[in-house]
Amino acid sequence: MGNDRSRIAPGRSLRIIDSQTRTRFQNHRELIQFRRKINNINIKHNDEMSRLNFIRHDAKKQLHQIQHDISKKQLSKKMDART
C-alpha cells in the first residue's frame, strides 16, 4: 500500500565530510556573509544619497522661493514708483 520512497528521512544526511568539502562549505558561507555586508553597505549608501538629494532639492526649492519673493518685491517697488 505504501511507497518505499515516502519514508521520513532524517533532517541531516549522515555523510562523512572530507577536509576539502568542509573548506568549500566554509568558503561558501564566508562568501555569503561578504555579499550580505556589501548589500548592507550599498543599502546604507543609497539611503544616505537619497537623504542628501532630498536636502539638495529642498534647498533649491527654498532658493527659488526666495528669488521669486525678491523679484515680486522689486516689481511692486517699480509699480509704486510709477504711481
pLDDT tens string 18-66: 888 889 999 999 999 999 999 999 999 999 999 999 999 999 999 999 9
Per-residue model confidence (pLDDT) at position 16:
66
CA dihedral 40, 41, 44, 45 (to 10 degrees): -150
Say what the pTM is: 0.56
Nearest 5°: phi and psi at 9? -90, 155
Judged by DSSP in three states, 74 sits in helix
Per-residue model confidence (pLDDT) at position 2:
52
- Residues whose CB is less than 8 angstroms from the CB of residue 25 and which lie 6 or more positions away in sequence, other chains included: 17
